Structure 1
Amino acid sequence: MAEKDVLGRRGEAVAAGWLEDRGYTIVARNWRCAHGELDLIARRGCVTAFVEVKTRSSIEYGHPFEAITPEKAARVRRLAAEWCRAHGPVRGETRIDAIAVLDAWSGKPSVEHLPGVA
């Protein structure tokens, strides 16, 4: 596995733990279909969040959120719709969230959560 993929998986694990610490239940990780992959699907109360996680070791090449282009957000929306079709109706609100993880290998990684980005 490439180093960037290892970093990405670590960031997803950090993001999942961060969400769980805030009362979310992780419904799925790395859900795949023919059109792509959703990083995390999390639920808290009546909200199901489809979470795009972006991880960087530093901001030398930009903030992780900068990697979420309009095209990427549209793809996540399409994948979320695919997941809903595959898993039956979802009760409550659905939304697309983004989480940025910096310095994922440290004991205190930085995590930023933007709910409802797309």
Structure 2
Amino acid sequence: MEQSEFLEKNVFTGLTNINDGFDSENIYYFSEADFEIVLQRAEHFGLSIYGIEPWLNGEMFDVLSHDSFRKKATDPKWYNKAFSEFKKRQEGLAYAASYKVSKKLLERE
């Protein structure tokens, strides 16, 4: 199974991709409520999240990565804290992230 297929089937399922063409069609963007679900599912599967990129009105708002928090990409503490910080700073953001699904998980599917 490919990483994109795994994400669509197990992480993004039932959620709305709000990328209406303002970025590459391969990048999924979610509302705050949906992105919270994405992070819960990522934690459940032990996925790596390398960076979170929120956008506001079609323009990049900011970006934070696991390096900013000196944590491993698989550590949910960093991405939950980053998400919390973004929510405090600005309402109505669209969220994207860079993910990695382990080979072991892909082979299991």
TM-score with structure 1 setting the length: 0.27
Write 1 or 2 for the structure with the bigger share of helix.
2
Larger RCO (CA under 8 A, 6+ residues apart): 2
